[in-house]
Structure 1
Amino acid sequence: MTFAASRPTPATLAGRLGVLCSRAWQSQALTRVVSLALFAGLTAWVLMVFRDYGISNDEPVQHTYGQLLWQWYGSGFKDDRAFHYINLYLYGGLFDLIAAGLEPYVSLPVYDLRHLISAGFGLAGLVAVWRWTKLLAGEKTAILAVAILAVTGMYGGAMFTHTKDVPFAATMAWSVYLVTCVAAALPGLPSWRTVAGLGFAVGCALGLRVGGVFAIFYLGLTIVAAGVIHRDVRLVARLVLRLVPAGLITLTVMALAWPWSVLPPTNLFEAMGAFSHFSFDLSTLINGKDVPIGEVPGFYMSEYLLIKLPDVALLGLIAAIPFGVLALLRANAEDRRRALVFLPLVLALAVPVVFTLAEHPPLYNGIRHFLFVIPPATIAAALGIAALWRAALRVSPGLGFATAAVAGSLFAFNAASFVALHPYEYVGYNQLVGGLAGADGRFEGDYWSATIREAATELREGVEAHPPAKPYKVAICAEDGQVQPFLGPDLELTESWDDADFLLTARNVGCDNLVPGLTYRTISRLGVPLAMVVDLRARHSPIVEPLPWDDDADPDTPAVSFHGPGSATVARKVP
């Protein structure tokens, strides 16, 4: 007797594949492996690219501030120059203290070291987002939130150069996550570990910016809401008493990182007032118009938030609002008590938006000063995408697959744009305004002049190929410290643009069409010029020497200057 082996049918194979996928999806061990792989990849990426980033125009003074703070401590609290240095005393010095303290012991150029430390804060913020989202919606949604935030230009790219903003965003993410832990423990009391962590996180936030008071405000509202929802005034009293050590830790950390704030303690309120009403002679670009920072409309921050978030995050936010409202309307008393864990997230996203709409504070550089809103916005987006996918899956597996495919395609598009912009990821915009090309000339670009480093490097390499008899003079539309480390012996900085042989400038600062000359190099991304090197040598010689045209690798990138005498004109002297 013979037996014929039965071959599996396509339907059987599909069924087996479906079972395997279902088991893999439900595997907590595999989910944890993905989380670890994601963070390992992000850490490796940081270590590979942190040397690529330019020096922001604030970094030299920030680093000096850190050094002055160390001198205050080293002098036995006598050398108080840090308390009078420009307006830096209005900021906490936590980051600058760390950078200045490590500088003598780490064999890295000081600004590379600062960028590495800043990226470390950024990674810590991603860990906070992972833990926060995992607490609210599980580890798979947490992976999604971290992945989206990592390819958000104003976080994943900015975390190298925004050395005040990203560390503050990271410490705020930890602060609000720990406020969420307090809410999750109700009607019980938070653990002492949570209490200590909350005090340390809020202290670090205040040790960077006075805006850390937002975290205290969120905590206060959460405690009040807990008393109302649980109908227990004594619960409020017990929570306040439990959190007293957190307050003491906060004050200690803040005082160590920002001693001016407690000498005397009223200085903290002076800083709050200063940042609510400060103003100086500076304009910001919004909807194609240069607007003085004291006259920006209340929707300035909200608009920049919407156009700076990745497209996939916008999809999630659009989905999160109706799903959240629907869940709230259907909630019973017990559901509302459980939903209290979402209140800190809602506050972290809504309060800054409402504050700017109501108060119209002076703002500039787009979303930079409210960058701490991006992590909670990304978490809300991840929750929205997850809710949308589950709703689609309940309708049909095909619709669930289509929803996942749309979200995955948007993420892939945003990730590709993020990589294409490197190392200027923070200048990117979403398709709400047509991406970087659509935002060009309408909204803020390279406000740090980070592109000036690449421009200086391109000029140095070009000159080294044909060394001059004497060094060329270079004028810059930036801070000297942003360029000096990248110029070789054949180039020297000059304050006189009339005597300069070359001009280095980013487009965002408005210097690209002030001087007649020929574009020697264009620094561009995605077909949009960001900075340029202008060759001015023809102005100094009666002999017209051949000057190389712009040799940007992207042939579709136009010359930088579109108006005025800039790169469109060569000032040639007739013998």
Structure 2
Amino acid sequence: MISRISASPAAAEWPALLVGRAWRSAVLGRVASIGLFAVIAAWIVLSFRDYGISNDEPVQHTYGQLLLAWYASGFTDDRAFHYINLYLYGGLFDLIAAGLEPYVPLPLYEWRHLLSAGFGFVGLIGVWRLAKLLSGEKAGILAVLMLAFTGMYGGAMFTHTKDVPFAAAMAWSLYFITACVVQLPVAPSWRAALGLGVSIGCALGLRVGGVFGVFYLVLTIAAATLVFRDIRLPLRVLPRLIAAAAVSFAITALAWPWSMLPPTNLFAAMGAFNNFTFDLSTLFNGKLVPIGQVPPTYMSEYLLIKLPEITLLGLFAALAMAGVSGVRLVLAHRTTQATQLHPRRLIGYLPLLLAVFVPIVFTLTDDPPLYNGIRHFLFVLPPVTVLAALGLQAAWRHLWRRSHVLGLGFATAALAIVTFNATTFLRLHPYEYVAYNQLVGGTAGAWGRFEGDYWSTSLREAALALRHSLEQEGHPPGRRYKVAVCAEDVQASTYLGPDFDMVDDWDAADFLMTARNTGCDDAPGLAYATVSRMGVPLATTLDMRLRHAPLETPLPAGKDTPGFDLNAPAVSLKDGGPQVAKAKP
């Protein structure tokens, strides 16, 4: 019998051979990684100006300036410690944004969006490192590609200036936790320990939720002590952990001084976020629900419908492969052919699993007040995506070993789904974060049932459209228009130009700009322009000028008035005005 190795491959086998060799090539893998990050970096540089200002950015930037003032005053100007409720957050991002603002030749909010995207980019590198550590470079490429096309990360990283930097820091802390535990039972390297301290310090310097990373670490070391049956293991790693803790507290104190004055403020912040509530409702399955009354499944359900289809496929594949591996272990044990899984490999996956399931279990059991979908738990996306990438890779390898045809079919299906997700991502630009998957009929199916453009970032495009349309109308010299906004004035005024005055009284306004989100989607008026993507209206500009102009000819009084036609069609103002697909400054 002639072996397949010595025989000349048939023409039908060449595609499979080429795919197999390409997959195993370390050089091609590294080239693909570098190319992927180069494309993402180019996308950031080319598109960061497209994103509008989010609701929270003005106060966040003020918080950063107040933190700078505290340092500049010799620690006497403590306004930052009483500013709204932002003292309950770390100021790492806002400190950097405010501190470098005078030296960056960009408008303030464009600079903040570029900086936020930079944090997101660093987070993608952390995801690549984590997946590569667990399952090789190809897994890292898959994870980065999938997360980059996840609207709640790849699109949100420009505008979610609290959430994405925190998610990036948590991704790196998860990587360094894993890098430490895979070295057990020997003490982790100083490099890994110090990296752990820096990453957890940065996470705490952004949000108190960084304690999740500490929890993952403690649980994993406890599990490793049992798996290795080494009661001295915690003592062996203790010096490294003390050094990591010192670095972490130093960074936290620098970025979030309130938390260390005194250190018990950390616990006060935890309690505040676990019990805070205010007068706000969130849209959940077609109902407006007060944030203190959302069901325990709020976050997990939003996570399920916000994840791209390729990620859902990867999670299903991971579950299926876990089942296959379990069956194999049982059968091998019964036939006395069991092969022991190396403890380091077993423990190495534990931090990833904890990072996926602990936050979900926390929301299910503790039922904290939540709103804006998964925004506050966006840090779950990187580990979920890594787990999905590992599932896709394991399923492909399993099918490839059984049949090259099955393997190629699975890869083709996955590529088709990625292409669909990428197309949706690009069509929604720059509102990628409003994307939903097909479990609820996509973004169009979710509209009016779940949260949409809750940051009202579409007002940038609406403001530019209004400005350009009025310029084309040729308004009289010196004519100033009054504009009201169902959001923060700065979200529109930044882009309107000098011929507009912002007013609070909607009835006195010439134009009313509204984001089609909770509380802003029922305003009366004649539609002047609508910002939409994929058939979904995101923002509308209403023309209120007719309300202030006297009528030259009285309206017909009724059916007895000459000229009144009972059969005339009704006039709808809902779809009036130009439909604006995209406006550029």
Scaled by the length of structure 2, what TM-score is found? 0.90
Residue 76 of structure 2 corresponds to residue 78 of structure 1 = yes
Does the 8 Å contact 2:283/2:518 carry over to 1?
Answer: no
How much has 1:243 moved relative to structure 2? 1.2
Instruction: Give the direction of change, closer, same or farther, for the CA distance of 1:164–1:553 in structure 2 (3 Å limit).
Output: closer
Quote the residue 1:208 is aligned against: 206
Quote the residue 2:349 is aligned against: 342
Quote the residue 1:565 is aligned against: none
Residue 442 of structure 2 corresponds to residue 435 of structure 1 = yes
Identity between Structure 1 and Structure 2 (%): 61
Does the 8 Å contact 1:538/1:544 carry over to 2?
Answer: no
Aligned alpha-carbon RMSD (Å): 1.8
Residue 144 of structure 2 corresponds to residue 136 of structure 1 = no
Q: How does 1:301-450 map to 2 (within 5 A)?
A: 301-327=299-325, 330=329, 333-450=340-457
- 1:45 pairs, out of 36, 43, 46, with 43
Quote the residue 1:255 is aligned against: 253
Deviations 1:359-413 (A, max 9, x none): 0000000000000000000011111111221222233111111111111111100
* SS class of match (1:291): strand
C-alpha distance in 2, partners of 1:16/1:482? 56
* SS class of match (1:504): strand
Give the letter for the 1:542 counterpart: P
Quote the residue 1:459 is aligned against: 466
How much has 1:209 moved relative to structure 2? 0.1
C-alpha distance in 1, partners of 2:259/2:9? 70
Does the 8 Å contact 1:317/1:381 carry over to 2?
Answer: yes
How much has 1:242 moved relative to structure 2? 2.2
Quote the residue 1:491 is aligned against: 500
Does the 8 Å contact 1:165/1:369 carry over to 2?
Answer: yes
Deviations 1:151-193 (A, max 9, x none): 0000000000000000000000000110000111112211111
Quote the residue 1:103 is aligned against: 101
C-alpha distance in 2, partners of 1:146/1:318? 19
Quote the residue 1:571 is aligned against: none
Deviations 1:454-499 (A, max 9, x none): 1011000011112433211111001011111101222221111111
- 1:534 pairs, out of 520, 526, 542, with 542
Give the letter for the 2:228 counterpart: H
How much has 1:325 moved relative to structure 2? 4.4
Instruction: Give the direction of change, closer, same or farther, for the CA distance of 1:498–1:15 in structure 2 (3 Å limit).
Output: closer
How much has 1:510 moved relative to structure 2? 2.5
* SS class of match (1:509): coil
Instruction: Give the direction of change, closer, same or farther, for the CA distance of 1:511–1:207 in structure 2 (3 Å limit).
Output: same
- 1:504 pairs, out of 492, 510, 513, with 513
Q: How many residues align?
A: 544
How much has 1:17 moved relative to structure 2? 5.2
C-alpha distance in 1, partners of 2:345/2:323? 15
Long gaps (5+) in structure 2: 1-7, 330-337, 554-572
Deviations 1:104-144 (A, max 9, x none): 00110010000000000000000000000001111111101
Q: How does 1:224-303 map to 2 (within 5 A)?
A: 224-303=222-301
C-alpha distance in 2, partners of 1:305/1:19? 38
C-alpha distance in 1, partners of 2:15/2:442? 39
C-alpha distance in 2, partners of 1:499/1:91? 38
Moved more, 503-512 or 243-252: 503-512
Does the 8 Å contact 2:283/2:449 carry over to 1?
Answer: yes
* SS class of match (1:185): coil
Does the 8 Å contact 1:53/1:423 carry over to 2?
Answer: yes
How much has 1:521 moved relative to structure 2? 0.5
Instruction: Give the direction of change, closer, same or farther, for the CA distance of 1:389–1:138 in structure 2 (3 Å limit).
Output: same
C-alpha distance in 2, partners of 1:535/1:514? 11
Give the letter for the 2:377 counterpart: F
- 1:482 pairs, out of 468, 479, 491, with 491
Does the 8 Å contact 1:468/1:490 carry over to 2?
Answer: no
Quote the residue 1:120 is aligned against: 118
C-alpha distance in 2, partners of 1:204/1:320? 31
How much has 1:543 moved relative to structure 2? 4.0
How much has 1:25 moved relative to structure 2? 2.4
Does the 8 Å contact 1:467/1:490 carry over to 2?
Answer: no
* SS class of match (1:162): coil
C-alpha distance in 2, partners of 1:427/1:482? 18
Give the letter for the 2:54 counterpart: S
Instruction: Give the direction of change, closer, same or farther, for the CA distance of 1:303–1:460 in structure 2 (3 Å limit).
Output: same
C-alpha distance in 2, partners of 1:381/1:100? 37
How much has 1:335 moved relative to structure 2? 3.5
Give the letter for the 1:39 counterpart: F
Does the 8 Å contact 1:223/1:239 carry over to 2?
Answer: no
C-alpha distance in 2, partners of 1:399/1:172? 36
Instruction: Give the direction of change, closer, same or farther, for the CA distance of 1:338–1:398 in structure 2 (3 Å limit).
Output: same
Give the letter for the 2:23 counterpart: W
Moved more, 490-499 or 124-133: 490-499
Long gaps (5+) in structure 1: 1-9, 555-575
Instruction: Give the direction of change, closer, same or farther, for the CA distance of 1:461–1:228 in structure 2 (3 Å limit).
Output: same
Does the 8 Å contact 2:282/2:518 carry over to 1?
Answer: no
Deviations 1:245-291 (A, max 9, x none): 00000000000000000001111100000000000000001110000
Give the letter for the 1:465 counterpart: Q
Deviations 1:208-227 (A, max 9, x none): 00000000000000110110
Quote the residue 1:562 is aligned against: none
* SS class of match (1:508): coil
Quote the residue 1:5 is aligned against: none
Give the letter for the 2:510 counterpart: D
C-alpha distance in 1, partners of 2:580/2:68? 45
- 1:158 pairs, out of 145, 156, 159, with 156
* SS class of match (2:182): helix
